[in-house]
Chain A
Amino acid sequence: AQSVTQLDSQVPVFEEAPVELRCNYSSSVSVYLFWYVQYPNQGLQLLLKYLSGSTLVKGINGFEAEFNKSQTSFHLRKPSVHISDTAEYFCAVSPLNSGYSTLTFGKGTMLLVSP
C-alpha cells in the first residue's frame, strides 16, 4: 500500500516570491509520482509527473519538482508565483505496475498568493 503526506495544509505567499510545497510518500514498491492542481470549483489538472530518468521534472505554468528517492520526497517548487497560482495542489503516487490506475492522493496544500 502507498501513502502520501503533504506537510502543509496551507501555504501563504506574496506575489513574485518563491514557493515550495512539500510532499513525502511511503511505499513498499517503486512508484510514479505526480502533482495535480485544482482551481476553485474545477477538476484536477496534471501539473507534472515523474516516471523515470532525470529527477528534476518540469511541468506547466513554470512549476518543477525534484524526486529524492532516499528521502522519499517529491517537493514542488516555483521561483516566482502569480496571483493566478492560487489553488489547491495535490501530490499523488501510483505503483509502477499499475500506471495511472491506482493513484493515491495526499490531502492537498492550499497555495494562497496575495499581492
Chain B
Amino acid sequence: EAGVVQSPRYKIIEKKQPVAFWCNPISGHNTLYWYLQNLGQGPELLIRYENEEAVDDSQLPKDRFSAERLKGVDSTLKIQPAELGDSAVYLCASTGATGELFFGEGSRLTVL
C-alpha cells in the first residue's frame, strides 16, 4: 500500500514568489492534515480536513496561506507571497478508521 505522497520534496524560491505543495493521502483516508515544521521544532498543525471540509484552520495564516481539498482526496497548500520566515518543512498526514496518523516525507521550502 502506498503511503502519503508529497511533492515537491524540495523547493527554493525567492521571497514574494508564490509556491504550492501537493499531497496525496493514503487511499481511503478521509482525514488530512497539513503541519508546519520549523528547524529544531516539532510539527505544528496548520489545517485539518474531514473529506473536503476544513474543520480546523485556526492556525493557518490566512493572509498568505491557502489550502484546498476539492474532491476530498488530494490537497494543495499554497503560499502567496512567500516570506523568508516561511522556510520550513511542510508535512502532510492522513488518518483512516484506526485514527493513526501516517506522515508523508515532507516538502522542504527555502525562501531566499
* B94 CB → nearest A CB, Å: 11
Task: List residues of chain A with CB under 8 Å of any chain B CB.
Answer: 4, 9, 41-46, 90, 92, 99-103, 105-108
Q: Which stretch, B12-20, B40-48, B61-69, B70-78, touches the partner chain A?
A: B40-48
B82 at the binding interface (Cβ < 8 Å):
no
Judging by beta carbons under 8 Å apart, are B40 and A108 in contact? yes
Residues of B contacting A90 in the complex (Cβ-Cβ under 8 angstroms): 42-43
Query: Is A101 within 8 A of B41, CB to CB?
Result: no
Which residue of A43, A102, A108 contacts B42 across the interface (Cβ within 8 Å)?
A108
B106–A43 contact, CB under 8 A? yes
> Measured between C-beta atoms, what is the minimum distance from A113 to chain B in Å?
20
Q: Which of B40, B91, B101 contacts A46 (CB 8 A)?
A: B101
CA separation between A45 and B95, bound complex, in Å?
13
- Given known A100-B99, A101-B48, contact A43–B105 (CB-CB < 8 A): yes
Q: Which residues of B contact A (CB under 8 A)?
A: 4, 31, 40-45, 48, 56, 91, 93, 95, 99-101, 103-106, 108
* Chain B contacts for A103, CB-based, 8 A: 43, 45, 101
CA distance A41 to B105 in the complex (A): 7
Chain B residues with CB under 8 A of A99 = 99
Interface centre among B42, B91, B104 (most CB of A within 10 A): B42
Q: Are A101 and B31 in contact (CB under 8 A)?
A: yes
Min C-beta distance of A70 to chain B, whole Å? 25
Q: How far is the CA of A96 from the CA of B105 in the complex (A)?
A: 27
Q: Which residues of B contact A46 (CB under 8 A)?
A: 100-101
Given A43-B105, A45-B103, A107-B42, 9 other A-B contacts at CB below 8 A? A44-B43, A100-B95, A100-B99, A100-B101, A101-B99, A103-B43, A105-B43, A105-B44, A108-B41
